[in-house]
Structure 1
Amino acid sequence: MYRLRAISLFSGAGGFCAGIERAGYQIAVAVEKDRSACQTYRANFPSVPLYEGDIQKFLAPKSGHGELYGLQEIDLCYGGPPCQGHSSIGARDADDERNGLWVEFARIIDSIRPKSFIMENVPGILSSGLGKFKREILQKFQAIGYSNVTLVQVDASDFGAPQIRKRVLFVGTRDDLRLSGSLDGLLKSGLDAHRQPVISVDEAISDLPEAVCEPGEMVGYASKPSSDYQRTRRSRNLKVSGHHTKRIGPRRANLIAHLAAGQNADSLPPELWDGVRAQKWRRLDGSKPSHTLLAQMGKDLSEWIHPHFSRWLTLREAARIQGFPDNFGFPCSESEALKQVGNSVPPPLAYAVGLVVKEILGGAVIARKRGRPTKGVRPMTGGERHRRWRETHGSVALTVSPELAERIRLARDELCLTTAELLGQALDALVEQRRPRLKRAA
């Protein structure tokens, strides 16, 4: 079958997209406002159409975006609206104007009518405003035809990212989709099935050299890969880019030299530290996953000190810990790149949830008579569906009787499938039916 089609909102540098693409989706369009993030996105996803601009103008009336980007029959819409107003890090402000950007996410869902959506955010959104935002989000999605909506709290370290990063995922499916079970049960059991062993910082970055390079340069690896994680991130690369970091003065270098692995400023002698905010100075423990990477890295790396060397993490080491492959480039300033890494959804987490939603959709059937018609975007015709299939997978000519052709057409329309999808499912069922006979014959 052809790859499922997806739309990316609040795309940033593309961490969410990297995982979703790996899970087998084709990204129809990505939407991002930040100019530097768009520069990084284009460099890494050259074939994905990118709408660079305010999300409030995307799919506005008479914009023609639906037809321009071919947004018919979208399987998944995903993204992480900015969450600074809900975050427990820093000043928490329930009135922060960025808190309302999830409404734009819902507006686009209502316009495009995808089969499913994933909205990622910080756990603080569940308690922010005394639970007001959680209630409003669930009620909004239910009101626009996604009453089958649930949420789940996850930690990226459970899905192959060497980092403690707790997030909440709102996941919903369109009301006309009949699932093989409850969405909440399918989501949680699917995620449980995709859990991975915990990966430590050393398993993630120990093959990168102690010496750093200048921005724009490349450097060779310090050793052969010592873990599957390193091997996967390196692929066939012989050198790596982005292994640079912020400069460090003598006073700070002396301070961090006194920090043991996993320790913060509480362990420092009084002559080196003034006793204010112990978490400002933190050395990673190489035997454990990292604590959460934040956009704050773009300004100050004192909370992300290398577990063994007296320096900050490099951009490449931070990208590794976030789950990016080594061929993912950041063609922007160092500060902007570190900010983009800290803001990204870890690709391993995105990959896992993308696979689970794909599995859920694979077992769903569209109840056409009860379904809500597509709003705002013209449904794809049968000819367009067939043309899209041919362009992606080629074509096969079959000669059948008029009676069989009519039966195929009726079944195809009833199940809302392409002819190729219908025949593929029929063949799979036939193979399963004959398999016991073949075993007995053997």
Structure 2
Amino acid sequence: MKNKMVLSGLSVFSGAGGMDVGFIRAGVEIVSANDIDKDACLTYEANHPGVIIKCSDINKNLINMHQFEGIDLVFGGPPCQGFSVAGKMNPDDPRSKLLWTFMKAVELTKPRAFICENVKALAVLDKWFEVRQQLFRCAAQLGYTYKLVILNSSDFGVPQSRERMFLIGFRDVENINNLEVQFEQYKKPAQTVRDVVLPLGVAGSENNQRICNAKVTIAAKPVMRKSPYAGMLFNGQGRPLNPDRYSCALHASMGGNKTPIIDEDHCYFGQDSWVEWYHSYLMKGGKPLPLDAAPKRLRRLTIDEAQRIQTFPDDYQFIGGQSSIYRQIGNAVPCNLAQVVAEVVRDVLSNPEAIASLPSEECETKLLRLAI
């Protein structure tokens, strides 16, 4: 962190602290955190002993937010289930209202900048157009210049295709039209699933003991797609992972048959993929195999593997039962992606003129590369 600006940060909707890990790596000193999930709070405390985390409904803590007035950053990801295509997409879901609680925290603390993370659907679907407009109006009324950006984790060193929106606001920076371009310098290739999990060893070995016992069963009526790793060849929503590519997005519903599937012999020992063979067999007109015909080499992603795919440190301690830990990992913002967002915000705060200095032609070229 030599020669880099150190910022103070207030973390809200902190969960297990994945976003906080990234922000701390970028030089942010967290002064306080908040979440309502007891296990997540215990996990946060175990890994961030110097930070006080309040484990309660954030609405009950708003009255105390004034003590953080003038802080550099307020950041967090309000619960997304009400907006996610994987959920019921209900605007009246009480969790959807927490978006406005986040903005209330911004109003009370008046930070130099805020970062609000959520699912891509909130940023792009017509269904949420009015919600977005209300959010923009709220940011403007509070005196912030804002920008909504959509980032894919796999563009920033995360072995996972996971798109998220970030509404980023600055109180004293007027021109952030080229904010997206600032992310260009932080793009870097991500490792593959195989690269990430291979050092752990096979499921059940010393560094990979936290296995998922949910069985892999063959779908009686498979939903076919061009790729063996799309569609639904197996029961449940946990799809097989291609070890030579990025993981699909990890969800909080992992732990049962929604947990992604790994062909251990293919991933760890380089054997031909059973998933690819079975997909080819079906595409050629073969009949679905019996429910229990899935070989033992097919098993669910372990907690340790999921932890690595989310770019948590290997020594990060998760507290709670198996389902709770899977939920905490799936709910987190990948640490590497969070770090990039914090780095960009820090760069803008330390040199606001730089963001407006790119010639328009150069800006358009970089934006095009960012979008590809």
TM over 0.5: yes
1:230-283: CA deviations, max 9, x gaps? Answer: xxxxxxxxxx4x63122245xx3688xxxxxx7358685xxxx6xxxx773521
Moved more, 6-15 or 91-100: 91-100
1:363-404: CA deviations, max 9, x gaps? Answer: 149xxxxxxxxxxxxxxxxxxxxxxxxxxxxxxxxxxxxxxx
Aligned to 2:281: none
Is 1:247 the equivalent of 2:213? Answer: yes
Distance 1:116 1:203, change over 3 A: same
Secondary structure at the aligned position of 2:199 is classed as coil
Aligned to 1:376: none
Aligned to 2:202: 210
Among residues 228, 251, 258, which one is paired with 1:263 in the alignment? 228
- Say whether the 8 Å CA contact 1:32–1:50 is kept in structure 2: yes
Among residues 44, 53, 58, which one is paired with 1:55 in the alignment? 58
Secondary structure at the aligned position of 1:59 is classed as helix
Q: Distance in 2 between matches of 1:304 and 1:93?
A: 30
Distance 1:195 1:59, change over 3 A: same
Offset at residue 203 of structure 1 (A): 1.5
Letter of the structure 2 residue corresponding to residue 244 of structure 1: R
Offset at residue 302 of structure 1 (A): 4.4
Distance 1:210 1:109, change over 3 A: same
Is 1:197 the equivalent of 2:173? Answer: no
- Say whether the 8 Å CA contact 2:212–2:303 is kept in structure 1: no
1:198-247: CA deviations, max 9, x gaps? Answer: 3211111111111415xxxxx2xxxxxxxxxxxxxxxxxxxx4x631222
- Say whether the 8 Å CA contact 2:236–2:257 is kept in structure 1: no
Distance 1:26 1:313, change over 3 A: same
- Say whether the 8 Å CA contact 1:265–1:279 is kept in structure 2: no
Query: Which protein is bigger by CA-based radius of gyration?
Result: 1
- Show structure 2 runs of 5+ residues with no match: 220-226, 268-296, 354-372
Aligned to 1:13: 16
- Say whether the 8 Å CA contact 2:259–2:301 is kept in structure 1: no
- Say whether the 8 Å CA contact 1:164–1:290 is kept in structure 2: yes
Letter of the structure 1 residue corresponding to residue 30 of structure 2: I
Question: TM-score with structure 2 length normalisation?
Answer: 0.78
Aligned to 1:287: 244
Moved more, 200-209 or 336-345: 200-209
Secondary structure at the aligned position of 1:91 is classed as coil
Q: Distance in 1 between matches of 2:9 and 2:80?
A: 22
Secondary structure at the aligned position of 1:58 is classed as helix
Secondary structure at the aligned position of 1:12 is classed as coil
Distance 1:327 1:112, change over 3 A: same
Secondary structure at the aligned position of 1:296 is classed as coil
Among residues 184, 192, 209, which one is paired with 2:177 in the alignment? 184
Which residues of 2 match residues 24-423 of structure 1 at below 5 A?
Answer: 24-60=27-63, 63=64, 66-67=66-67, 71-126=68-123, 127=125, 129-146=127-144, 148-174=145-171, 177-178=172-173, 182-185=175-178, 187-212=179-204, 219=206, 240=207, 243-249=209-215, 252=216, 263-264=228-229, 280-306=237-263, 308=267, 309-364=297-352
Offset at residue 92 of structure 1 (A): 2.0
Count matched residues.
Answer: 313
1:285-343: CA deviations, max 9, x gaps? Answer: 01100000000103434434356342111101001001111011112111100001000
1:62-120: CA deviations, max 9, x gaps? Answer: x4x544xxx24311111010111111114222222211111111111011000001101
- Show structure 1 runs of 5+ residues with no match: 214-218, 220-239, 256-261, 366-442
Letter of the structure 2 residue corresponding to residue 98 of structure 1: R
Q: Distance in 2 between matches of 1:109 and 1:103?
A: 10
Distance 1:267 1:350, change over 3 A: closer
- Say whether the 8 Å CA contact 2:262–2:300 is kept in structure 1: yes
Distance 1:117 1:304, change over 3 A: farther
Secondary structure at the aligned position of 1:311 is classed as strand
